[in-house]
């Protein structure tokens, strides 16, 4: 068992004999407790080898599986949690699916329910067919959401083969092709302890958690060989520009740059993630010179940016709303060109570094934020304390190098225009 210390907090990390990774951050004096079981299976997992046999997965399967894991034979997980006074939910993203609850009382009983939810599958043809209609309705709803369409079109420009360009829920066609057999295969392949982690935050006893783990009798599949299949992806964007028309009163835009995560190992990706967040704050936060000028001139209604990097994808995106997308595009290109020439303001970098350090400290007083931060850090291959400590090691040169490396690449441009213009 490893124990990390930071900000007078202790963080325990160890592996159960089943292979399940355990992460516990005790918070004495807090009444509410949080627990997450996160499975290393997300929307980008579209094909894998299982003991030498290839299995192709319809897009949307991870999200579909998330929906179905709440239903058990003769009962419903929502009802079980409700009887103990717990709140529960789940989410699926590109690389993982996470199931969680929070409660004040009966924590260990709720934890056993969570294990049942994740590791005991139950799918019938009737329930799968019923769920298809619900998810297809959800997909159709997002077709009318111009912000969702703008972001999906943006990813479609960046990526040629990577499943990241497909909506997490899939398409109507792919959802209709999902069967109970496919769900059972994916569950058996990925809903196993060695591909999962348990994250707990709250006033809990580590020894009692270990007793629960032994009591629930987790399955062990150490002899199976699972290999993910990732399509080859070119370094260049699939295309550079797209325009579509929707029923909106203003233009939406998404500008961005495609990164190449294969150039970085796990530790380098951690540093690059932090540097990318710094660049977002330096160049595109509400206090940046560019954004301030665009708001003052009335050229934008909104603007925000973010940077994402994982093992198989990475990009920097700038999103917003405007009446004049061409003017905003030129302003952003000119602004980046000037930053490439002049470099960043080191004094501003130090202010932002202190702000991030402050945010990290405050996070430890919000158990829900703390738990989700641990989950997302773990999914990216490092723990939360690694992330917090890495902030103090980022240099001005790294930030400038990031801008020169990524923001000088070809910029992709996605526009959603109002109909009739």
Q: How confident is the model at residue 58 (pLDDT cuts 50, 70, 90)?
A: very high
Cα–Cα dist 84/35, whole Å: 14
Residues whose CB is less than 8 angstroms from the CB of residue 44 and which lie 6 or more positions away in sequence, other chains included? 94, 95, 162, 163, 164, 312, 313
Phi and psi torsions of 36, nearest 5°: -125, 135
Q: For the segment 173-182, what is each residue's pLDDT rounded down to a tens digit?
A: 999 999 999 9
- Give the pLDDT confidence score for residue 75 in this predicted structure: 87
CATH class of residue range 2-228: alpha beta
> Is residue 307 within 8 Å of residue 315, measured between CB atoms?
yes
Report the chain's terminal Cα–Cα distance, integer Å: 62
Report the pLDDT averaged over residues 246-273: 94
The two structure tokens encoding residue 362: 């405050």
280 vs 244: CA distance, rounded Å: 27
Please spell the DSSP secondary structure of 301-345, one letter per residue: SEEEEEEEE-SS-EEEEEEEEES-HHHHHHHHHHHHHHHHHH---
Strands 53-56 and 71-72, by their bridges, are: unpaired
Residue found under tokens 């994808």 = 313
Least confident of 89-93, 270-274, 389-393: 389-393
Name the pTM for this structure.
0.94
Residue 314 has pLDDT above 90, yes or no: yes
Residues 6+ apart with CB under 8 A from 365: none
pLDDT at residue 2 is higher than 80: no
Distance CA 316, CA 169 (A): 23
Please say whether the beta carbons of 415 and 253 come within 8 A. yes
Mean pLDDT of 217-231: 85
Between CA 12 and CA 365 the distance in angstroms is 18
At 421 the pLDDT is: 62
Kindly report, as residue ranges, where domains of CATH 3.30.830.10 are found in the chain.
2-228, 241-418
Q: What is the DSSP string of 383-411?
A: -HHHHHHHGGG--HHHHHHHHHHHTTSPP
DSSP 3-state of 219: coil
pLDDT exceeds cutoff 70 at 3: no
Pick the CATH number of 241-418 from 3.40.50.920, 3.30.830.10, 3.40.50.10260, 3.10.20.70: 3.30.830.10
Catalytic residue among 66, 71, 117, 131: 66
Residue 12: pLDDT above 70?
yes
> For residue 286, what pLDDT is reported?
87
In tens, the pLDDT along 26-41 reads 999 999 999 999 999 9
Q: What is the pLDDT of residues 78-123, one digit of tens each?
A: 999 999 999 999 999 999 999 999 999 999 999 999 999 999 999 9
Residue 347 scores a pLDDT above 80 = yes
Secondary structure class of 169 (helix, strand, coil): coil
Cα–Cα distance measured from residue 15 to residue 189, given in angstroms and rounded to the nearest whole number = 19
Q: What is the DSSP string of 140-167?
A: HHHHT-HHHHHHHHHHHHH-SS-GGGS-
CA distance linking residue 175 with residue 298, whole number of Å: 43
Closest alpha carbon to 32 in 97, 85, 89: 85
268 as an active site residue: the answer is no
* Both structure tokens of 105: 């009382």
pLDDT tens per residue across span 319-337: 999 999 999 999 999 999 9
Q: What is the mean pLDDT of residues 240-247?
A: 94
């Amino acid at each position: 068992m490893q124990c990390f210390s930071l900000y007078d907090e202790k963080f325990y990390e160890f592996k159960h004999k089943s292979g399940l990774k355990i992460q516990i951050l005790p918070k004495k004096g807090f009444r509410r407790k949080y627990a997450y079981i996160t499975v290393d299976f997300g929307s980008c997992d579209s094909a894998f080898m299982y003991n030498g046999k290839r299995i192709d997965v319809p897009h949307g399967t991870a999200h579909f599986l998330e929906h179905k894991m709440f239903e058990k034979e003769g009962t419903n997980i929502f009802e079980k949690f409700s009887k103990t006074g717990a709140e529960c939910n789940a989410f699926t993203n590109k690389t993982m699916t996470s199931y969680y609850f929070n409660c004040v009382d009966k924590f260990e009983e709720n934890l056993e329910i969570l294990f049942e939810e994740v590791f005991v599958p139950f799918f019938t043809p009737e329930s799968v067919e019923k769920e298809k209609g619900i998810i297809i309705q959800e997909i159709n709803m997002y077709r009318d959401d111009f912000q969702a369409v703008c972001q999906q079109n943006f990813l479609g420009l960046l990526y040629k083969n990577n499943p990241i360009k497909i909506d997490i829920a899939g398409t109507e066609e792919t959802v209709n092709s999902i069967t109970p057999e496919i769900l059972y295969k994916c569950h058996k392949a990925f809903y196993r302890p060695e591909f999962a982690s348990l994250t707990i935050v709250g006033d809990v006893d580590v020894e009692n958690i270990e007793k629960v783990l032994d009591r629930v009798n987790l399955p062990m599949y150490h002899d199976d060989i699972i290999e993910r299949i990732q399509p080859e992806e070119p370094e260049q964007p699939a295309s550079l520009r797209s325009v579509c028309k929707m029923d909106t009163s203003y233009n939406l835009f998404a500008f961005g740059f495609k990164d190449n995560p294969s150039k970085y190992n796990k530790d380098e990706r951690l540093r690059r993630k932090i540097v990318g967040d710094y660049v977002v704050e330096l160049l595109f936060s509400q206090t940046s010179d560019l954004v301030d000028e665009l708001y003052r001139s009335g050229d934008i209604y909104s603007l925000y940016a973010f940077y994402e990097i994982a093992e198989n994808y990475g990009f920097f995106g700038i999103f917003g709303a405007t009446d004049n997308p061409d003017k905003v595009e030129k302003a952003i290109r000119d602004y980046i060109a000037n930053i490439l020439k002049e470099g960043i303001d080191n004094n501003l970098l130090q202010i932002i570094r202190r702000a991030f350090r402050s945010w990290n400290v405050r996070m430890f007083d919000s158990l829900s934020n703390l738990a989700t931060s641990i989950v997302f850090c773990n999914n990216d291959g490092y723990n939360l304390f690694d992330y917090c400590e890495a902030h103090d090691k980022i240099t001005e040169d790294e930030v400038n190098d990031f801008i020169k490396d990524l923001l000088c690449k070809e910029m992709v441009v996605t526009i959603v225009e109002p109909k009739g213009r």
